[in-house]
Chains A and B, each alone.
Chain A
Amino acid sequence: MARMKFLLDAERCIECNACVTACKNEHEVPWGINRRRVVTINDGKPGERSISMACMHCTDAPCAAVCPVSCFYTTADAVVLHDKDLCIGCGYCFYACPFGAPQYPRVGNFGSRGKMDKCTYCAGGPQADNTQAEYIQYGSNRLAEGKLPLCAEMCSTKALLAGDGAVIAQIYRERVQKRGYGSGAWGWRTAYRETVAI
């Protein structure tokens, strides 16, 4: 099985936010929940770069490590998913997550969190693949249809890559070698404890 990863080539990202929109539309993500977002650093200054970020589906995922109800699991493709029927909305995964990926619908009293929602790598959840129940809870399951995450698939500059880690690392490596520069595979060291050697 492949080891699925995201890779963002910041030299190519033009902050068009199409990945964000595609994600919201594909999974009918509710208002106020953002599974993917684009953050611009050094905004308006030399070296400005935009980085599209979502759940990175970490190796040794911190969310799974701290979850009080153990609702996370890792698929055979190394995608980190969670069971919303088990989640209690405690918010611990957000404290542990280095990428701010977990999102919570605001329900009930105070700032009370509902069941956590995050990027599924377009791989749905524990429900049977491509059922209505799975779609309502987790969104569409493109992986089960043999497709890659929509955010990366429709990235116009192919800044955002999704797929087997070894394959997308090789694509990125060739790009950097050809153009002679790169700002690193954002989040890789934090998520996968490795970086793309050029």
Chain B
Amino acid sequence: MRALFLAFALLLAAPVAGHAQTNPQVTGVPGNPTPMLPPVADELEVLKALQGGRVAGRITIPDQQAANLIQPAGRSWRDFHNVTLAWVGGVAVLGMLGILVLFRLSKGRIPIEGGPSGRTIQRFNLLERANHWMVASTFIILALSGLNLTFGRHILLPIVGPEAFTAISQWGKYAHNFLAFPFTLGLVLMLLLWIKDNIPNGTDIRWLKAGGGLIGNAHPDSGRFNAGQKGIFWITILGGAAVAVTGYMLVFPFMFTDIAGMQLSHMIHSIVSVLMIAVMLAHIYIGTIGMEGASAAMTTGQVDLNWAKQHHNLWVEKELASGRGADAPGTAKAAGAD
């Protein structure tokens, strides 16, 4: 995790550093070379010479951010926020909902073949489930409060009015800031709990070639997690790490970076977030209404043996072989009895 964190911090830092070389920094700060400005401080000449870079000088007040006189990059950030992000987010989220509706209409709910057996096997223990729900519940609130910042003024504001919308957004901001911490903690625990079952291997290639059983009617082999679930895992971990690192940059404004770094942090944070939201919609669908027997894994932790054999045959074989067998509970009814 630390290596990942570092990698993301570096990823983030690289463009910032690159930016710093082309843009003038605050002069008078040790280590920052004075920018080459034209000998006469003519506005048009300076702007032309800097080619879209920041016009900065010396300031006598403590706030060194104020030494930036003009930052034309704000215009690009505005375009990103109002156009790029709105389109990417809108297409990703609505597009995924559309795909899920089409999938549902064409394939219906994926049933347990042969019906539930009545015998169950433990899939996730209490710690795994509790951690999953900590990440999931915080993610949902973070996602809704985040989407509200981009789309709320167009969708919610006209409905509830400005005062109520501000109240919602204000509480959303507090929730977003505070829930970032349990969300990050949950990601770390998730990585530790599940990484050993999420290393990609040959089974995943065969699973993907068979379309995961989603396309067509193949039944590819799968261990504890299939390639799709591994994808979800790595998207959560890597995307989550990117969102967490950039999110902490934003929640501690200007503590680690300057205006260009803040803009870049916001851009990475928001784009990765909307893409993760789209992916998680699919995850929520297939884990609840999309597949019979799937939600039990994360509620009681006990899944039906027939479901497990159908979707995770290699894992079931391993579990049974190691003596963690599936016992019929006392209340179990024979298959098809109800």
Q: Which A residues have a C-beta under 8 Å from some C-beta of B?
A: 10, 17, 20, 32, 34, 37-43, 45-49, 51, 53, 62, 65-71, 83, 85-92, 94-100, 109-113, 182-190, 195
Contacts and interface: CB of A to CB of B under 8 A. Distances in A.
A65 B41 contact: no
Given A39-B69, A97-B71, 7 more contacts: A17-B60, A40-B57, A41-B69, A43-B28, A92-B81, A110-B251, A111-B254
B18 to A, nearest CB: 19
Contacts of A111: 251-255
Interface string B74-114: 11011001100000000000000000000000000000000
Contacts of B254: 111
A109 B148 CA distance: 22
B78 A99 contact: no
A183 B41 contact: yes
Given A40-B58, A41-B46, A62-B74, A91 B41 contact: no
A102 to B, nearest CB: 11
Contacts of A90: 149, 169, 173
Interface of B: 27-28, 37-44, 46-47, 55-63, 65-72, 74-75, 77-78, 81-82, 148-150, 152-153, 157, 162-163, 165-166, 169-170, 173, 177, 250-255, 259, 262-263, 266
Nearest to A97: B74
A61 B255 CA distance: 27
Given A42-B41, A100-B71, A69 B251 contact: no
Contacts of A91: 250, 253, 262
B49 to A, nearest CB: 11
23 contacts: A17-B60, A37-B66, A39-B56, A39-B59, A42-B39, A47-B38, A65-B82, A67-B153, A68-B149, A71-B166, A87-B166, A91-B250, A95-B263, A95-B266, A96-B74, A96-B75, A99-B71, A100-B259, A111-B252, A183-B42, A184-B42, A189-B44, A195-B44
Nearest to B149: A68
Contact of A48 (B41, B67, B251): B41
Contacts of B38: 47
A43 B253 contact: no
B162 A69 contact: yes
A189 B72 CA distance: 11
User: Interface on chain A toward B: helix, strand, loop, or mixed SS?
Assistant: loop
Contacts of B27: 43
A51 B80 CA distance: 29
B64 to A, nearest CB: 11
A37 B68 CA distance: 10
A39 B57 contact: yes
Nearest to A86: B166
Contacts of A186: 43, 69
Given A90-B173, A110-B251, A111-B253, A95 B70 contact: no
A90 B28 CA distance: 30
A37 B61 contact: yes
Contact of A47 (B41, B58, B157): B41
A46 B27 CA distance: 15
Contacts of B177: 109-110, 112
B37 A189 contact: no
B57 A43 contact: yes
Contacts of B61: 20, 34, 37
A94 B63 CA distance: 14
B149 A100 contact: no
A187 B66 contact: no
A96 B37 contact: no
B37 A42 contact: yes
Given A42-B39, A70-B153, A111-B254, A95 B77 contact: yes
A187 B262 contact: no
B63 A41 contact: no
Contact of B166 (A10, A32, A49, A88): A88
A183 B43 CA distance: 6
Contacts of B81: 66, 92, 95-96
User: Residue among B43, B63, B251, B263 with the most chain A CB within 10 A?
Assistant: B43
Nearest to A11: B41
Contact of A70 (B72, B157, B250): B157
B58 A10 contact: no
Contacts of A86: 162-163, 166
A87 B166 CA distance: 7
A185 B62 CA distance: 26
B59 A37 contact: yes
A66 B78 contact: yes
